[in-house]
A and B are shown apart, each in its own frame.
Chain A
Amino acid sequence: KKNMLDFFILGLFISPGSAVNTPVRRPVTRRSKSYGRSCVEPPSLFWQTPGHLTTLGHRIPTSRRAAKSHNITEKVDPEQVALLLDGEWKLSYVTPLFLFRHTQLKLYSKRLAAFIIAEKQQGVAVEVGLEAGFRVSFSAVLGMAETEEDAETISSRPVFGADGSKPVWQGWLTCVNGDPEYLRSLPPDFTSLPLFCSRGAESLSALVKSWFQRTFDCSFGALGLSSSTLHWLAALWTGCHPAAGIRYLKLGWTMPTQPPLDIEYSVDPQDAWELWNSVHKEDGADERISVDEVQSFINGLETHFFRHFKIYLSSGTLTKVSTALGSAHHHGKIKVITINSDYISTVLTLLTECALLKTPV
């Protein structure tokens, strides 16, 4: 649907210019003293449904689509999927990018490389390799977008060292099934890619973020995963067991005791599935999971644990959920295993939603 650039690997070159500029505005009259866009009226995310006002004042969906095995590799280059999935990612949220152009990725690669080198020369960046062998590649991953409103995923890999060597840092920005009302409300100058995943040296992450901030006037923040998000993931993954085989369901809690007590709870995949099956109502065509079902599932697991150990897990913090399909940590780290990439869009939808809910206005 969009004419996108394919994967690029570019050599380092300090570009002489011809870039996208902030347009020069011509203010002529004094702005009327209006109070601007209201934060309590749509399209602000502040309230969408009254009565679901959380601490951050955002809505939490009460039901979502069950993970469906649709073959993502039909739409997306398998090599790129492998790249996105392999290994553990640190999650961040990003406010919408201003004047980001999918057609300028080549230029961005150059500018980011130049920026990193400039910063590094100030004795800032990590000491890695030779500057001459340093490259940044930006690419658009086509086909990840699920709806018209979603912008295409962007991945970025500064590469240090000679050709063909392992990248030292990788990152990507995405939006899968983002809230259409919110996305439509943004002026056309903005591109919302709210979920940012990265791995590699922290100092490089900081540099990349800093470049994005200065170039697209956006802001980054850590994206932690709340207990309820982890509950959703546990339920979504368990629901995939008959089709994909989750092999195990492991949950980790930290209990508020002195000293803190970490509990790891391993559940037999078949038992987990049967528990899930008993609380989940199949309702035919549009298979949806409701928040009540997720809550009953987790309650079931916690009750079972209490029966054996007399510990209320609900008084602690759920820190980790893992199955053979992937794992997620409440500090905002996620791993999705390559072979089961079919479920990625369900997970990314959930994460996109978490990231969008962190958008400040």
Chain B
Amino acid sequence: MDNSSILSGAAPDTSRDSSGSAPGNRSLRVAENEKRRSERDPVRSALSFLSQVQDGTIVKGNDQLEKSLVVVETVALGRGLPPEAVSLLLDLALSLRAGSVNCGRILKFLIPASVVPQEAVVRGVSWLCVGRLPMNSQVLFLRWVLTVFDLIDFKDHLRAIYGFIFSFVTEENLAGFKNYNSTWKATLTAVQRKNRGDVTADLSLTTELKEKPASRKRKLHHLEVPALSSAFDTSAERKVFRLQEMRTFEELLQNIHNIELPAQMGSLLGSSLALHFLDCVQDESAFLRLNFWLGHSLQEEFLLCSADGGSDSPDEVARFLNTVLSSQQFLQEGFFSTESFLYKFLSVWDGSLLRTHILDLLSHIPLMPSHYIKILVFEPLMQLYFTSTVFFKCSVIECLNNMLVKWLTWHSVNALEEGLDISLNSNGTVTMTLSGFMDTVIELVRFVGRLASEGLRLENCHVLLLSQTLAFYETVCDMFVRYGLPLVIMPPAGVFYPALLATDSLSVDRLGYIMYRYRKNLTLAKKQEQQSEQTFHISRNTYQEFNQHLVAMVSCLWNSKSFLPGTGIEIDKQMLLQSKVSEHWSHFDLVHHPAFFKYAFEFHQKCWPARSSVDLASIKVGKYWNWYVEFLFSQGFDGLSDFIQVNTGHSSSSGSSSQGDGHQTNQER
């Protein structure tokens, strides 16, 4: 028996804190850890003790036996027992080595954490045949077998000895039992549920064990993934492999041609191994079954809220949606029942119920013609957006960014395979041309542009909202280079200027990165256009918009000419005079910009530590300017650095150019 596997994941590690506190020598620490470990692992020592109990051991007054049993019992009822421990304890109980009283006691707490080894059951039946067991222990054992039957890992050997089992069952004393599973059921359910959470979290390759479906159904539980089971139990003559018997990925691969679809397709969502299988299923009916089930579950829970159910606990609802989400993430596509549910739900959603789940699901919706997405998604979302808090606004922008990334990724994969025409469906029910696809993408980007501009205005350029917005444009600016979609859409002024004039340096830096990437995309587009490799055409307007933003940004940050005529953003002279800000044109250059002021100040102190009065203007003179720019770039403003180098010709190695010449802007034409 492998003790380490029994104890894996047993007690949380509490000894990992000693590194800093105990300065003593290493061996002392090792000894200390050793001691702690044995204290921490009473289960290990208890099981090891129990495995050594011999026939004829005195039971009465045997304190150590009692103590060990208590330890194991606690673990069993709390977390369940690993297969090896189940094996060991079952043998101990039925051999009566620990006495007949303890036999019953052990059986009652024999709750498996995952599976029950078949061999343990077979050995148990052989103890039954020895005939030494008292009748009540026999009954208890058989009841236990029936309860955990679904958890027995393999059943091939067990089938061979069914005859024995049935001969016991037909005995009068054994036949009459009722409620055979009440002893273990509640604990088993709790333990299995707890363990299931861990399994789904890491998507490990095991067929996850389901609790037995609650058979006392006063209510219909919509939000319960059904257990894997076969349609009818008659396929014995045909060689098929059942998903519920599958344990490893290797088994899946070896039997992939021979796997039986389960009775309820929804059960596939409960196990990550089954999801691998689902990914290979090419059967429309099977997917339709899955979608009927899923659509029904979501509809009953969220839309109809019928008297039959709809009262599942929030935890259960969240768990269910997590299952759906992780399945969709695994398959890299959404189910169309989820999609159709979302369109209905968005119009009645309050924006707070299960917000993260709903928005995550929404980010999975596939591309659809632009007039549909306007009515189904944008309109209800817009209403919620403008009536909700800034955090909801951030979540919406983030969701739409994820949506766009998924569409673009999907496009970059499929466009390679199928050329320009995109067929959304292998059956051809929905086809979309490249221009249709672009229309929808344009619609989405413009929609986010509107949401972000208005949102930033309403929320006083909230830094989180600005950050989510810039994250979105980091996706948008790279659509051509990174995803092969020949489309360039510039951010609206309502997004660009709040970012340029932001008070935090990270936003300005990100804007620098975005403008740098726009330039890369436009350059590539122009190059391809000139080589007439592509038939698409980026409109002059887009170049103009880009140049306008570029001029504004370079004038502001580099040339100290903000708000002057011909710099993109022009403010009436009279108004500027009224503001009584002296030298207003230089207030957003890299030295005076509120986002970089702190760095300029620090630089000033380093250059002239003896100066008593700070004169930031002196940074702009001669070599100091170059040093300052170097200093800024060394602070991790890579986006800004790329932007400056590409657009002003400032090279980090050259020290020749100086501020004041009015650097020309390298515009795209």
Contact = CB atoms under 8 A, between A and B. Distances in A.
Interface stretch (B64-72, B216-224, B434-442): B216-224
Nearest to A57: B344
Most B CB contacts (10 A, CB to CB) among A21, A213, A360 go to A360
B238 interface: yes
Interface in B234-289: 234-235, 238, 240, 256-266, 277, 279-289
A41 interface: yes
A263 interface: no
A23 B376 CA distance: 38
A36 B426 CA distance: 8
A276 interface: no
B334 interface: yes
B366 interface: yes
Interface stretch (A173-181, A220-228, A236-244): A220-228
Contacts, number: 204
B53 to A, nearest CB: 35
A56 B179 CA distance: 43
Contacts of B339: 39
Contact of B295 (A18, A209, A360): A360
B288 A38 contact: no
A17 to B, nearest CB: 4
A36 B285 contact: no
A266 to B, nearest CB: 28
B348 to A, nearest CB: 6
A360 B292 contact: yes
B298 interface: yes
A210 B226 CA distance: 11
A25 B336 contact: no
B232 A19 contact: yes
Contacts of B335: 36
Contact of B220 (A21, A41, A190, A220): A220
B257 A26 contact: yes
Nearest to A56: B344
Contacts of B263: 22, 214-215, 217
B299 interface: yes
Interface string A2-21: 00000000000000011111
A315 interface: no
A187 interface: yes
Nearest to B178: A123
Interface in A62-85: none
A98 B285 contact: yes
Contacts of B423: 34
A36 B343 contact: no
B361 to A, nearest CB: 14
A31 B298 contact: no
Contacts of A189: 285
Contacts of A206: 217-218, 220
A122 B215 contact: yes
B513 to A, nearest CB: 30
A40 interface: yes
Interface in B196-240: 215-218, 220, 222, 226, 229-235, 238, 240
A219 B376 contact: no
Most B CB contacts (10 A, CB to CB) among A37, A213, A220 go to A37
A46 interface: yes
B343 A35 contact: no
B256 A39 contact: no
A96 interface: yes
A: contact size bracket? 35 or more
Contacts of B264: 213-214, 217
A354 B347 CA distance: 21
A34 B217 contact: no
A95 interface: yes
A114 to B, nearest CB: 11
A190 B285 contact: yes
Given A22-B261, A37-B425, A209-B220, A27 B256 contact: yes
A358 B222 CA distance: 15
B404 to A, nearest CB: 16
B504 interface: no
B136 interface: no
B145 to A, nearest CB: 15
Given A33-B414, A35-B333, A36-B287, A219 B296 contact: yes
Contact of A210 (B217, B259, B285, B289): B217
A187 B181 contact: no
A18 B289 CA distance: 23
A24 interface: yes
B307 A331 contact: yes
Nearest to A37: B336
Given A40-B372, A360-B292, A27 B281 contact: yes
A187 B285 contact: yes
A310 interface: no
Interface in B617-640: none
B567 interface: no
B332 interface: yes
B337 interface: yes
B253 to A, nearest CB: 12
Nearest to A26: B257
Contact of B292 (A34, A38, A44, A218): A218
A152 B249 CA distance: 44
A257 B287 CA distance: 47
B530 interface: no
A18 B259 contact: no
A20 B235 CA distance: 10
B303 A361 contact: no
A129 B307 CA distance: 29
B296 A95 contact: yes
Contacts of B285: 98, 187, 189-190
13 contacts: A18-B234, A25-B282, A33-B410, A33-B414, A35-B424, A37-B291, A37-B425, A95-B292, A124-B216, A215-B263, A217-B265, A217-B289, A331-B307
Listed from nearest, the 9 A-B pairs whose CB atoms lie closest are A360-B295, A39-B340, A17-B234, A35-B366, A219-B296, A27-B280, A22-B231, A19-B232, A222-B306
Interface of B: 178-181, 215-218, 220, 222, 226, 229-235, 238, 240, 256-266, 277, 279-289, 291-300, 303-304, 306-308, 332-337, 339-341, 343-344, 347-348, 366-369, 372, 375-376, 410, 413-414, 423-427, 429-430
